[in-house]
Structure 1
Amino acid sequence: MEQIGDLSYMFVPVNPDGVTHWSLTAICMPNEENEQDCRSRNATILHLDSYVGPHDSKEVFMATENFMKRVLRINGDNS
């Protein structure tokens, strides 16, 4: 079974209001094979949201980053 740190991409559904509105975060995690294309091992988080009104992705980015840190810590990968 692959570890989270071995994946190149991960998609995480987000339900910020807990009721009806859904969006998606796409996490790009460059590995050794494609590191030269990405120039670093840092992950990139994209927030995909169809909501037309004003909204701030900052909270989604912070929550996704905290989630990934917890998952990597649980899996023993401190990347």
Structure 2
Amino acid sequence: MQLEPDEMKAIITRMKRAHGHLATVIRMMENSAECEDVLTQLAAVNKALSRAGYALVSTGLQHCLTTEDPSTLDVKQLERLFLSLA
């Protein structure tokens, strides 16, 4: 399944934001920030990436259900993609 660029724009923006946030976490570690502060920020990055992944799956499913012939959908593959985020 190939998604259109306009379908990906919000997800890409979310991932770029997480990328910048991760760079900040790395700088915190390099500057010997408090462990608790680093872990809090790292958890936020992890959550942001997870949400981006779920948004990607959701967008992909919507795309498949509205543009694909339902009889050609590989349900097992879609399930594997969804569960890969668990």
Which has the larger Rg?
A: 2
Higher share in helix:
2
- Please report the TM-score for the alignment, with normalisation by the length of structure 1: 0.38
TM-score normalised according to structure 2 size: 0.36
Determine which structure has the larger strand proportion and give its number: 1
Name the structure, 1 or 2, with higher relative contact order (CA <8 Å, separation 6+).
2
